[in-house]
Chains A and B, each alone.
Chain A
């Protein structure tokens, strides 16, 4: 088995601030994802990457940047935090588009 580690677990930012969320996986998976989940709602895809140094935009990419410098790590940057961005950000990975997606425990973002 493997594990996906997200840091930090909780992130408090100020409106307008640039914030970075980090994710590491030891599954040796090629594909990694960042999803956003608002309270009690479904998952919306922000960015994904199918291999090292690859980046693909999801449906919610505006206001975010991502970086995949290594196969095992995928980071997400909120370029300018907004008041309505209180959400949980979930990092995930899979071997490819046809296999199970595994999730980290999430980073809970609060903007004050």
Chain B
């Protein structure tokens, strides 16, 4: 049972464009979300975390969280070809574990 669902599976944006990725948890016990980025052949690395309702911005990256709907989104403005990667959403659970979604493949075209 996949408790962290991501959409879309794949996303193509032009260089300089805005990429928007979505993630929802079906587990009401989740209280932290993370976004990880994984370049091809590498391990995932954390981009941003969020646990409060609202928005958090770091450079070109903005994360939103709606705790009532357990929905988070990641927005990348001025997308660069180097942003092309697999983006993974993660959430904690009340069972002391962190689970990941299936990911969104982002392709930024020069």
Decide yes or no whether A28 CB sits under 8 A from chain B.
no
B76 sits at the interface (CB 8 A): no
| Beta-carbon contact of B92 and A90 below 8 Å | no
Interface bits B8-36 vs A (CB < 8 Å: 1, else 0): 00000000000000000000000110100
Q: Is the beta-carbon distance between B90 and A96 smaller than 8 angstroms?
A: no
Q: How far, in Å, is B101 (CB) from chain A's closest CB? A: 5
Chain A residue nearest to B36 in the complex (CB): A101
Q: How far is the CB of B4 from chain A (nearest CB, A)?
A: 8
Number of interface residues of A (CB under 8 A): 25
Question: Any chain A CB within 8 A of the CB of B93?
Answer: yes
Say yes or no: A97 contacts B43, CB within 8 Å: no
Interface assignment of A86: CB less than 8 Å from any CB of chain B? no
B88 touches A43 (CB 8 A): yes
CB interface residues, A 76-112, toward B, < 8 Å: 90, 94, 96-98, 100-101, 103-106
Residues of B within 8 A of A (CB): 1, 6, 31-32, 34, 43-46, 49, 51, 86, 88, 90, 92-93, 95-103, 105
19 contacts between A and B (CB under 8 A): A33-B97, A40-B105, A41-B102, A41-B103, A42-B100, A42-B101, A43-B88, A44-B100, A45-B97, A48-B97, A56-B95, A58-B97, A90-B43, A94-B98, A97-B92, A98-B32, A101-B46, A104-B43, A106-B43
A contacts, CB < 8 Å to B: 31, 33, 35, 40-45, 48, 50, 56, 58-59, 90, 94, 96-98, 100-101, 103-106
